Amino acid sequence: MLLSAASGAADAFAFLCVGQVFAGVMTGNLVLLGGSAAGAGEDGVALRVVTALAAYACGVAAGTLMAGLPLGLTLLAESVLLGVAAALWGFGLVASYGDRLGLLALVSLAMGVQGRVRVTPTNYFTGTLTSLAGRAAARRLEPGDGWVLGRLGAVVAGAALAALAALTERWWSPGAALGAAVLVAGAAVLETGWRGGRNTGKPRPDRGNPAGAA
């Protein structure tokens, strides 16, 4: 739940404050890239999208290489990346277009790491929503679907909190960037102290792939 909320907060911050692109929703970024190729959208959006895509891919690679480490340690590394991004933004050190690209790369790198830390998806939810709606239509809801719905709500809540922080002090609010870092750090603390209900690593039907969900 915390990681899902962090995903919403990170994407809201990147979209509202950094440059109208997403840090973790790569499907949305690919759509933006296609629109940019057709001449739609803001100037420079293609470069921002490519930066986010490349940084996210690097984060996925890093998360894969860290698969043998304790999960709490991987989450701590992600929270450090988000914390550095929050510090750069909060202290007003992001002044130029290049600085914004670097900030976007940091947040996207963190989201890429997060995309590999758990079997249950925490930063892409189309497949989650598809499988939940499919089970509801077939009247085959499962006891754990309450948590699935909770994760979807957590994304919305995290994005809403980050957006409120961003709009409170337009384009300068440490809270907008700090929220995701705090949420991930909280998840790291819980993971380190948790002794029951460990993820077994078995794939779930809401893995994030509608075909896999079916």
Check if the beta carbon of residue 110 is closer than 8 Å to that of residue 85.
yes
Give the pLDDT band of residue 41 (cuts 50, 70, 90).
Answer: low
CB atoms within 10 A of CB 139: 6
**Averaged pLDDT for residues 86-110:** 92
Residue type, 206: D
How far apart are the C-alpha atoms of 214 and 210, rounded to whole Å? 6
How far apart are the C-alpha atoms of 108 and 211, rounded to whole Å? 26
Residue 150: C-alpha distances to residues 84, 118, 133, 177 (Å): 29, 17, 14, 23
pLDDT at residue 196 in the model: 47
pLDDT at residue 169 in the model: 60
DSSP 145-194: HHHHHHHHHHHHHHHHHHHHHHHHTTT--HHHHHHHHHHHHHHHHHHHH-
Residue type, 3: L
> Across all residues in the chain, what is the average pLDDT?
86
Kindly state the greatest CA–CA separation across the chain.
Answer: 53
Terminus-to-terminus CA distance in the chain, angstroms?
24
pLDDT at residue 173 in the model: 60
pLDDT at residue 200 in the model: 45
pLDDT at residue 147 in the model: 92
Phi and psi at residue 54, in whole multiples of 5°?
Answer: -65, -45
Q: Is it the case that residue 146 has pLDDT exceeding 70?
A: yes
Token pair of 67 as six digits: 């698969």
What are the pLDDT digits (tens) for 9-38? 999 999 998 889 999 999 999 999 998 888
Residue located via tokens 């189309």? 126
CA geometry: angle 67, 59, 145, nearest 5 deg? 70
